[in-house]
Amino acid sequence: MNGLGGLNKSENGVVIGLVQLQLPVTVTRDDLARQTKRIVELVGKARRNNAGMDLVVFPEYALHGLSMDTNPAIMCDLDGPEVAAFKAACAEHRIWGCFSIMERNPGGNPYNSGIVIDDQGALKLYYRKLHPWVPVEPWEPGDLGIPVIDGPKGAKLALIICHDGMFPEMARECAYKGAEIMIRTAGYTAPIRESWRFTNQANAFQNLMVTANVCMCGSDGTFDSMGEGMIVNFDGTVIAHGVTGRPDEIITAEVRPDLVREARAGWGVENNIYQLWHRGYVAVKGGAMDCPYTFMQDMVAGTYRLPWEDRVKVTDGTSCGFEKPTRTFGETLAAAAE
């Protein structure tokens, strides 16, 4: 199915390129402009690398690096010059692109946002990370849900970011909304390597969904990101894997959304996303269509509470140097100051 990294493209194939981007250091507006230019150059490299590539994916923190700097001077806007440059690059090279920005938020902390731009330069997907990597990351919790779009060749496409992928509910939500390909961008460093690998595979298999996953790569003098571009088929098989850890390498593979659709319709054994709502359909007509999961019921009721809740020791970002927050979710800075 890989088609030699997409070199032998099939009629129904979607070729994905994952850029294991060199981890940058971004402190000033000039640094931001320099890194924007570098990403634009790599969009061109992706097109030259593989004439049949449909989608090029850049990792989380591709512009801003891992400093967790919330300096307003280097934050981005959807209508800002960085996104404009990405749109122009996708249009010039006739390729879809997935990009990462730290997005300005006048009402609170910046958002960790991801965007997908089509091969005409139009913004098609806009997502804010739902699960910042606490207690390390200072980003505002996302508030846009998980959008699913018609991507290259009509494939249903979703995007989640880094720590999002450690929650099986995130991948399940993508698939429930129809995603056939789920992108996961990240800035993870080496200690997360094994967790990264098995969650990328589990997210694919449990939902009969292709996952395309990539981290930053190389060192910024402090942190060492791991690259680890992974494209996983809907049966959990890894079909491309960037194991060399070479910065700016583009990991490619062809995936087949049509076979995802075929499996979702035709599989009996392990069609888990269908069987979640049709438990035991061999014994009872249509299966049991209930919600036996207490945590789901409690989340909807607003009463979610772990049995060990009172013993949890890390509940804010003070251990990582951030001030204890005073705002509640949805409350703006201005409202909290009143």
Query: Among residues 82, 87, 103, 129, which one is catalytic?
Result: 129
What is d(CA 222, CA 142) in angstroms, rounded to the nearest whole number? 28
3-state DSSP call for residue 338? Answer: coil
60 is known as an active-site residue: yes
Helices (H) and strands (E) in the chain, counts: 9, 14
H helix intervals, the chain: 3-6, 29-49, 81-93, 168-176, 193-205, 257-266, 272-275, 294-301, 333-337
CB of 240 within 8 A of CB of 253?
yes
Query: Among residues 90, 162, 174, 217, which one is catalytic?
Result: 162
CB of 157 within 8 A of CB of 150?
yes
DSSP 310: G
Buried b / exposed e along 300-319 (16+ C-beta atoms within 10 A)? eeeeeeeeeeeeeeeeebee
What is d(CA 229, CA 19) in angstroms, rounded to the nearest whole number? 8
217 is known as an active-site residue: no
76 is known as an active-site residue: no
Active site residues: 60, 129, 162
